[in-house]
Amino acid sequence: MLHTISGFDRIGEENAFAVLARATALSAAGKDIINLGIGQPDFRTPDHIVEAAIKALRDGHHGYTPATGLLATREAVARRTLTTTGVEISPESIVILPGGKPTMYAAIVMFGEAGAEILYPDPGFPIYRSMIEYTGATPVPVPVREENGFAFSADETLSLITDRTRLLILNSPANPTGGVTPRAEIEKLVKGLADHPDVAILSDDIYDVMTYDGEEHCSLLTFPELRDRLIVLNGWSKTWAMTGWRMGWSIWPDQLYDKIRKLAVNCWSCVNAPSQFAGIAAIDGPQDDVEAMMAAFDRRRRVVVEGLNALPGVTCATPKGAFYAFPNISGTGWKAKKLASALLEETGVALIGGPDFGILGEGYLRLSYANSEENIRQALARMDGFLRSSA
């Protein structure tokens, strides 16, 4: 009998990967699958980024880099941060990590332990809660509600802070809802946080430039009063269609920088060098592929929302960011996970049940519209047929 630490008995999962595995198995068995489950752009990484990685390999960049990342990559991130937020950040505050998730891991294990409380969005990215539980800390869900546009409510968030709260996790634009928290609400939250100076903030900004209809991501970096306790998670995965490259960055306050540097040395040493050169090309190179991808997401978003609202018993608010729709299915009479599973098995449409994103996810499905317009229309037609025949 092996005795692993109890944290591993509490660790959860991201069900999108299980759905992907099931969809792949069904597809291998000959079933026609349309995958609206996994949250990754269906575009290739732009060619000039791929070329930069190939060149780096040919140029002999085969060794370790500094644990916090190449200075040139961190400088590129600083330039990009200045462009998107107007805020100047020193490369000495930036860390390059193997994806966005490692920042989540680092921040949560830095603050989580038995007796501590960590606030996280519900519905929200499932790994927040999983990692909080792994550390033994108490996960405290912050509701993000449909009637509030799936935005954070400053008042409700602040009301959940206790003297045991160590970390508050925010995410806007959000997975799974596509919600974007408006600047006014963030300002109110920041004001209230002044009364809680011992609470650190992890802002998951992985979808920061993925907004629609003139909506804007309000960066917490624009509030200097938070800088000494703010960790910003970001990365290349979504914006430049680079999920498989495992490239992320984060911005850390001075007082935590050496801690994250040491964790990097202990856990992953560094991110592979060619990817870091690719990351520079992504930031400094032409952005037309990103713009074309966003235009495609925007078109699909409209198709998805219109199609979902036409389904019996389904309503869907228009998502303001990311590439997910989060339809309310409470009028169908189905439990969300049962419906998600039935849709996959019966119609070949892969999507995720809302409860995989939290307690408040019951009554919802998550569809990723990172798929072709044609496939999205086909999926909606299959869902329509299924819901009408099962009513």
- Whichever of 39 and 363 has its CB closer to ligand PLP, that residue is 39
What x/- string results for residues 5 through 24 when contact with ligand PLP is judged by CB under 6 A? --------------------
Of the candidate residues 81, 175, 275, 276, the single one contacting ligand PLP (CB under 6 A) = 175
Q: Which of 243, 275, 328, 332 binds ligand PLP (CB under 6 A)?
A: 243
For 324, phi and psi rounded to 5 degrees?
A: -125, 145
Out of 133, 185, 204, 208, the only residue in the binding site for ligand PLP (CB under 6 A) is 204
Binding segment (CB under 6 A) for ligand PLP, from list 57-65, 210-218, 219-227, 235-243: 235-243
Residues 134-173 that bind ligand PLP (CB under 6 A): 171
Sequence-distant (≥ 6) Cβ neighbours of residue 357 within 8 angstroms: 122, 123, 124, 125, 126, 175, 176, 366
Please pick, from the candidates 39, 307, 319, 327, the single residue that binds ligand PLP as defined by CB under 6 A: 39
Q: Is 99 in the site for ligand PLP (CB under 6 A)?
A: yes
Beta bridge partners of residue 341, listed in sequence order: none
Binding to ligand PLP in span 57-76, by CB under 6 A: none
**Dihedral angle, C-alpha 233, 234, 237, 240, nearest 10 °:** 170
Stretch of 85-93, 95-103, 256-264, 351-359 contacting ligand PLP, by CB under 6 A:
95-103
Among 125, 152, 212, 323, binds ligand PLP (CB under 6 A): 125
* Least distance (Å) between residue 200 CB and ligand PLP: 17
Q: Are 132 and 114 in contact (CB under 8 A)?
A: no
Q: Min. distance of Cβ 3 from ligand PLP in angstroms?
A: 30
Cross-strand bridge partners of residue 234: 249
Listed in sequence order, the residues at least 6 apart from 6 whose beta carbon sits closer than 8 Å to its beta carbon are 136
For the CB of residue 176, give the shortest distance to ligand PLP in the complex, in Å.
Answer: 8
For ligand PLP, the closer of residues 125 and 150 by Cβ is 125
Segments of 227-376 assigned E as strands:
230-235, 248-251, 324-325, 349-350, 352-353, 365-368
Q: Check whether the bond before 176 is cis (ω within 30° of 0).
A: yes
Report DSSP state, residue 328.
Answer: B
Q: What is the DSSP string of 177-196?
A: T-----HHHHHHHHHHHTT-
Contact pick of 74, 80, 101, 129 for ligand PLP (by CB under 6 A): 101
Name which of residues 279 to 318 contact ligand PLP (CB under 6 A): none
Contact yes or no for 176/290 (Cβ under 8 A): no
Question: Under a CB-based contact definition with an 8 Å cutoff, are residues 386 and 316 in contact?
Answer: no
239 lies in the site for ligand PLP, by CB under 6 A: no
The C-alpha angle with vertex 36 and arms to 33 and 37, in degrees rounded to 5, equals 100
CA separation for the pair 286, 384 (Å, rounded) = 40
Under the criterion CB under 6 A, does residue 328 sit at the interface with ligand PLP?
Answer: no
Per CB under 6 A, does 206 bind ligand PLP? yes
Least Cβ distance, residue 2 to ligand PLP (angstroms): 29
For residue 75, give the amino acid letter: E
Q: Given the rule CB under 6 A, which of 19-27, 54-62, 94-102, 372-380 is the region that contacts ligand PLP? A: 94-102
* Minimum distance, C-beta of residue 388 to ligand PLP, in the bound complex (Å): 32
Measure the CA–CA gap between 110 and 99, rounded to whole angstroms. 18
Piece of the chain touching ligand PLP by CB under 6 A; list 97-105, 146-154, 250-258, 339-347 = 97-105
Residue 362 · residue 123 · CB < 8 Å: no
From 93, 135, 165, 237, residue interacting with ligand PLP (rule: CB under 6 A):
237
Please report, as ranges, the residues that interact with ligand PLP according to CB under 6 A.
39, 99-101, 125, 171, 175, 204, 206, 235, 237, 243, 248
